[in-house]
Structure 1
Amino acid sequence: MKNLFLIISLLFCSSIVFGQDIFSAARSNDTTFVKQYIQNRGVIDTANVRGFTPLILGIYNDNFDVADLLLKNGANVNAQDKSGNTALMGAVFKGNPRLVKLLVANKVDVNQQNFNGATALVFAATFGQNEIAKNLLESGADKSIKDFTGKTALDHAIFQENSAMVEILK
């Protein structure tokens, strides 16, 4: 009975350590740890208190290698944080076209909305990511989707006075 309790305790403690460390590994592009975590059957779509998954954190920190590794091992490309934001929205916000292409290649939902109704295309329009907006449109982004304020990506581009983006979205 004592041994069983010890084994259960060790398993519990190791899962807590892995649960915390996978987030640090994703932030720091530590593919060695992520590979070990996956081999030990760690839950790659686990989320921290803010709802960030390792994929979302890897993308947000511009860590292509970790993101690619997580995606190749079945990470949910459309996972949302507690605000409904996705890895794609993070890549657009950060202005990283390489990560956007990685997510698109892994069949991300380019029209997924966050809890304010914004899509990745709205993010591109709001943050002036013109080339990424073109890529999203080529990948099937729907420019007619409205956020919860009733604005489309074009409306956001007009508000930002981004004439190049306005032309892209017309």
Structure 2
Amino acid sequence: MILLPLYAMHSSISEASHFSDPEEVAMELKNHFFNAAREGDMEVLELFIESRYDLDTQDTKGYSALILATYYGHLDAVERLLTAGANPCIKDNRGNTAFMGAIFKGEEKIAYRLIGTHCNVDERNNAGQTAAMYAALFERVELLQAMKDWGADLNAQDAAGNSAAQLLRGGIRLTSPINYDHSR
């Protein structure tokens, strides 16, 4: 249900851009929503939240507002989106979550906020990598310990055979182990 604040934004967008197609207007609103998350614009995010906009909507790359706010380091926006009901477990098109993005970008405060959500701490992206593997690769040792305390499996392996424990020791495999079939 879109309420008055977004209708007002919609009206100004329509007047400024002369959109006649409702799909174009919806796309423009979506772009404003994602830009607000990217920029940490709390006033605009609050308009979307108050208007009951779908906080879990995703762009063409699968990014949600929560993923974008995380990636750009906006802890206040992350917190507000979470308290408003945004799903922290959503994956982008590569299978990465907001938590994985926080670790990748070094946004440790956000990562600590996301670690306590109901998401699976051992969730894997499309390459079979876990957030613990990211933490180990980028030497975020304290965060890795917190993940272990939360139940993360540091011995889980990705498609190339890497585990968080191995990555923390500096070992990395760039390709999958060769599986020779000698049955021919």
Alpha-carbon spacing, 1:158–1:79, altered in 2? closer, same or farther (3 Å): same
Matching residue of 1:65: 76
**Normalising by the residue count of structure 1, what TM-score does the alignment of the two structures yield?**
0.83
The runs of 4+ residues in structure 1 deviating greater than 3 Å are 9-14
Question: Is residue 107 from structure 1 mapped to residue 118 from structure 2 by the alignment?
Answer: yes
Max radius of gyration: which structure?
Answer: 2
Separation in structure 2 between the aligned mates of residue 153 and residue 107 of structure 1, nearest angstrom: 21
Separation in structure 2 between the aligned mates of residue 152 and residue 13 of structure 1, nearest angstrom: 45
Question: Is residue 97 from structure 1 mapped to residue 108 from structure 2 by the alignment?
Answer: yes
Which structure: greater helix fraction?
1
**Normalising by the residue count of structure 2, what TM-score does the alignment of the two structures yield?**
0.77
Matching residue of 1:157: 168
Supply the RMSD in Å over aligned alpha carbons: 1.8
The Cα offsets for residues 139-163 of structure 1, whole Å up to 9 and x where unpaired, read as 11111211111221112223359xx
Listed as ranges, the gaps of 5+ residues in structure 1 are: 1-8, 162-170
Q: How many residues were matched structurally?
A: 153
| Secondary structure at 2:124 match in 1 | coil
Separation in structure 2 between the aligned mates of residue 21 and residue 135 of structure 1, nearest angstrom: 35
Identical columns (%): 31
Q: Which amino acid aligns with 1:142?
A: D
The Cα offsets for residues 90-122 of structure 1, whole Å up to 9 and x where unpaired, read as 111122221112112332321100001100000
2:37 to 5, 26, 30: 26
Listed as ranges, the gaps of 5+ residues in structure 2 are: 1-19, 173-184
* Residue 12 of structure 1: how far off its partner (Å): 4.2
Question: Is residue 140 from structure 1 mapped to residue 142 from structure 2 by the alignment?
Answer: no
* Residue 50 of structure 1: how far off its partner (Å): 1.1
Matches within 5 A, 1:14-53: 14-53=25-64
